[in-house]
A and B are shown apart, each in its own frame.
Chain A
Amino acid sequence: MPDEPDATAGSQERDDPPRRVRIPVASIRTDAPQFQIAARNPRRAEILAGSGFLLAAAGFAGFGAAYWQNYSNFWLGLTFSVGFGGLGYGMVVWGKYLMPRGPFSESRHDLAPTSVQREEFVQDFASRGKVAVERRGFLVKTLGLASGILGVVLAMPFIRSLGPLPHKVLRQTAWRRGSYLVDITGRKIKTGDLEVGGFTTVFPETDIGGAYSQTMLIRVDPPPASGYLKPPPQFAKQRATWAPQGYIAFSKVCTHAGCPVGLYQELTKKMLCPCHQSLFDVTDAATPIFGPAPRPLPQLPLYIDDEGYFRAQDGYDEPVGPGYWERGND
């Protein structure tokens, strides 16, 4: 290799460098066919590349003008792209037709070192390592202890400070016993506010617009007495009073991935989640009948107070929304 004599030279005394000689190993054969340019008509290629650059000049000038005059996005983008397109075209033509056509090659050398090199490396590393590290077991352990503690302690502010612990937050919404049902403007919902088949998004007064307390209030016809809205047997008794006068309320947070289940089809009495198209049957305790949602939407127990306002008999009796590890069966 060319460097080796250099290496010996370097090890000699600095003040008296040895005489060096540069030897060309072979003459450059610029007449080799590989050095001929690819174009058979270089003049033409030159004109093409040159027009590309002129176009680019025009494009960039146009961009400047368009920017200055505050033209639309369309003109800005067009002039900008004409500029870069011309530039790119010119460069590619230049490189493809007016440069040595090749092919050229370079040789590939082994990446893996020879066994001697490896040996030497291991020797150097291990022999010094033995003296410096291996006999200092005590230092290694104490150093490890200190860095370990540093690692753990550093992790604390970086992880623990990021947010509060979930604790019971996921189990509860802002709905409480007696909460009024209000719409997004804060207006309390009364009987008669909804047409039959109508629906609206309601919140507790304390959390208007809340991501978890959003609830869909639907007026279903005919009222439950006539056979609609029959909860599944296991709920039948408990939920019998939850939907007074055909007004029924379900959590709007999809049990799949939490999107708002915002579509209600009066004809089929189904709620549809637009994210992954889960379909919930309102007449059957919002059981999912289609799509990936695994659980029914929780139902909010309603009552109508003496003044005709809708209120919650209680909060949701299960966590709303998608599942999580600690959720278990409830």
Chain B
Amino acid sequence: MIDALFNWFDERLGISGSGRKMLNKIFPDHWSFLIGEIALYSFIVLLGTGVFLTLYFVPSSKDVIYQGSYAPLRGQPVSEAFASTLNLSFAVRGGLLMRQMHHWAANIFVGSIVVHMLRIFFTGAFRKPRELNWIVGSTLLILAIFNGFLGYSLPDDLVSGTGLRISFSIVESIPLIGSYAAFFLFGGNFPGNAIIPRFFILHVLILPAVIVGLLSAHLGMLVRQKHTQFPGRGNTPRNVVGAPLWPTFVAKTTGFMCLTVAVTGVLSAFFQINPVWLYGPYVPYKVSYAVQPDWYMGWLDGALRIMPSWEIVGFGHMIPNVFFPAILLPGITFGVLQMWPFIEARLTHDHAEHQILDRPRDRPKRTAFGAAVFSFYFVLFGASATDVLANYLSISLNVVLTSFRFLAVIVPLVVFPVTFRICKEMQSVPTAGKRKRANVVLRSAEGGYSTVPSEERPGDTVPRVDPLPLDEDFQFVTVLAGAVAAGDGQAGNGHVEDSEPVPPDEVHDGRRRGGIFKIPRAYR
């Protein structure tokens, strides 16, 4: 049955040829290659749970009196969006699970993209010929952050509404076009009632569609250019070593997808996220205390907090304070991020192709620079908790804030040389980072000590063998019968001589015999 189906399609679409190449596509075994898969699978979770949410969520800021099952808010005027979010959480069966999974998956999604990107950065995988894919990848990061923010704003609760208020001010702060951009985005002055439906359509349709498109481009380029790989036994710039798509990778990656779903589910079962009913509906004159945005907005919030109170005024115009931390900083951040492959190539004059990854320690300058930059954003992230820290440590907010202003400058300046030194030290220790066999210290009856290596572990006994080239060794070559005799086209191939010509597939009544599960006897 499957054979027949396969043949049916194969005869019409000709899948065998490229399909076989796909089956043999090699995926490197290193764990760091899994991080991108987490991103992919949490996006799939987002799509699945998101579709469920759209069935019940009402994207409208129209005022209604809440009549649902959550008693403390019953009788209060709330927006339809907020009411439907409560409804999702309390009345729809499995709704709270889907909402929490959606939110957790969003956090995992952005997180895994960031870690994935750090892997690419520190191993130099972005170098020629993969600059384009770096740009697509970093665009995906930006879109993921944006879409997360849009989704976060939809329930119209006190916390997300405050976030919207701040974003209005941020858009407003753009020189020249700011107030127009903000009015057009919100459909008028803040708060207006256009923003929820608008964000909704961006969140559930437009940005996901763009993300799906870019994701396909990302993976398409990956297939076309093939994976990079770490240096290792049998790994050369001319091959890729690892597990083939079929069956090993398919099994492992499907398993991995299920595990990603499971982890998201566990988080949503055990840890509450975004309990909007505790925040209450958004009202412009109410404040929410100790408000933290989702983690991936933390660095922006921190930057807003530690920015000194400057503002540029002159010639009848103003560049407001929030412009610097909330427009200029992300602008520079994402600009440099996207252009990094070209910036680095210009600095190193390295324009060669690279298929073999760097170990971070072997590129101490890049590694130190990356670590310093990362530490800067980490400090900003920490600064988004100034009020929480001040409370927790019982010190004055003033002290906390001032320290963060200093830390933002000092930490990167310290991290750079320290990382640089660590890299250099690791370079000089050849076994650094390798798994060592433990030594066992023995004490003899006389009290003397001696050391012997511990017993081998099971993993050590599997002999490491050279990679077996899949595509070169099992090729069927279809040639014209006469060409073989003439030695045409196969001149370079040493295997041809000792193989027997096989008759072409038998064709009866226009149907082909044989199929994927009928392996010719000779190869069984």
Contact = CB atoms under 8 A, between A and B. Distances in A.
A6 B489 CA distance: 11
A85 B266 CA distance: 9
Nearest to A170: B179
Q: Name which of B166, B238, B263 has the most chain A CB atoms within 10 A of its CB.
A: B166
B463 A33 contact: yes
B247 interface: yes
B266 A294 contact: no
A175 interface: no
Contacts of A288: 309
A72 to B, nearest CB: 9
Q: Name which of A21, A73, A105 has the most chain B CB atoms within 10 A of its CB.
A: A105
B243 A170 contact: no
Contacts of A80: 97, 265, 269
A288 B247 CA distance: 65
Contacts of A105: 26, 234, 239-242, 467-470
B522 A27 contact: yes
Nearest to A72: B96
B166 A257 contact: yes
B252 A92 contact: yes
A214 interface: yes
Contacts of A102: 29, 242-244, 248, 467-468
Interface string B471-513: 1111111111111100011000101100101111100000000
A99 B480 contact: no
Contacts of A278: 309
A19 B386 CA distance: 79
B304 A20 contact: no
A8 B484 CA distance: 14
B475 A92 contact: no
B220 to A, nearest CB: 13
B316 A329 contact: yes
B479 A252 contact: no
Interface residues of B, number: 143
Contacts of A108: 226, 237-240, 355
Interface stretch (A134-142, A303-311, A317-325): A317-325
Contacts of A152: none
A94 interface: yes
A19 B504 contact: yes
B256 interface: yes
B328 to A, nearest CB: 14
Interface string A174-186: 0000000000100
B240 to A, nearest CB: 6
Contacts of A95: 247-252, 255
A291 B309 contact: yes
Given A21-B502, A34-B465, A214-B285, A106 B26 contact: yes
A28 B474 contact: yes
A196 interface: no
A164 interface: yes
Contacts of B94: 67, 76
A247 to B, nearest CB: 19
A18 B478 CA distance: 11
A322 to B, nearest CB: 4
Contacts of B503: 21
A262 B286 contact: yes
B243 A21 contact: no
A163 interface: yes
A326 B471 contact: no
B25 interface: yes
Interface in B224-282: 224-226, 234, 237-244, 247-252, 254-263, 265-266, 268-270
Contact of B478 (A20, A166, A214, A325): A20
Nearest to A160: B184
Contact of B168 (A8, A76, A201, A258): A258
Nearest to B288: A274
Interface in B168-192: 168-170, 172-180, 182-192
A104 interface: yes
Nearest to B99: A73
Interface stretch (A121-129, A205-213, A224-232): A205-213
A237 interface: no
Interface residues of A, number: 107
Given A163-B194, A328-B318, A322 B251 contact: no
B411 interface: no
A294 B308 CA distance: 8
B285 A184 contact: yes
B320 A166 contact: no
A151 interface: no
A144 interface: no
Contacts of A4: 489
B5 interface: no
Given A324-B320, A327-B317, A327-B318, A89 B243 contact: no
Contacts of A9: 480
A54 interface: no
A325 B178 contact: yes
Given A28-B473, A91-B255, A277 B386 contact: yes
A166 B244 CA distance: 59
Nearest to A19: B481
Nearest to A254: B169
Contacts of B477: 2, 5, 22-23, 25
B479 A277 contact: no
A115 interface: no
A15 B369 CA distance: 66
A159 interface: yes
Contacts of B286: 260, 262
B479 A322 contact: no
Given A81-B262, A292-B308, A106 B175 contact: no
Contacts of B260: 88
Contacts of B483: 5
A4 to B, nearest CB: 6
A101 B24 CA distance: 14
Nearest to B459: A38
Nearest to B316: A328
Given A95-B249, A291-B305, A324-B173, A22 B504 contact: yes
Given A214-B285, A290-B397, A159 B474 contact: no
A165 to B, nearest CB: 7
A138 B43 CA distance: 49
Given A21-B501, A29-B473, A76-B94, A260 B523 contact: no
Interface in B383-441: 386-387, 397-398, 401
A323 B248 contact: no
13 contacts: A25-B474, A28-B523, A103-B467, A106-B470, A166-B180, A169-B189, A210-B284, A212-B189, A274-B289, A294-B310, A295-B311, A324-B179, A327-B318
Interface of A: 2-6, 8-9, 18-30, 32-35, 38, 40, 67, 70, 73-78, 80-85, 87-96, 99-108, 111-112, 159-160, 162-166, 169-170, 184, 201, 209-212, 214, 252, 256-260, 262-263, 274-278, 288, 290-295, 321-329
3 closest Cβ pairs, A-B complex: A77-B269, A91-B255, A95-B251
Given A170-B179, A323-B319, 20 more contacts: A5-B489, A9-B480, A24-B475, A81-B263, A85-B266, A88-B258, A91-B251, A94-B255, A106-B25, A162-B184, A163-B188, A163-B192, A209-B285, A211-B165, A257-B304, A258-B168, A292-B325, A322-B320, A322-B322, A324-B182
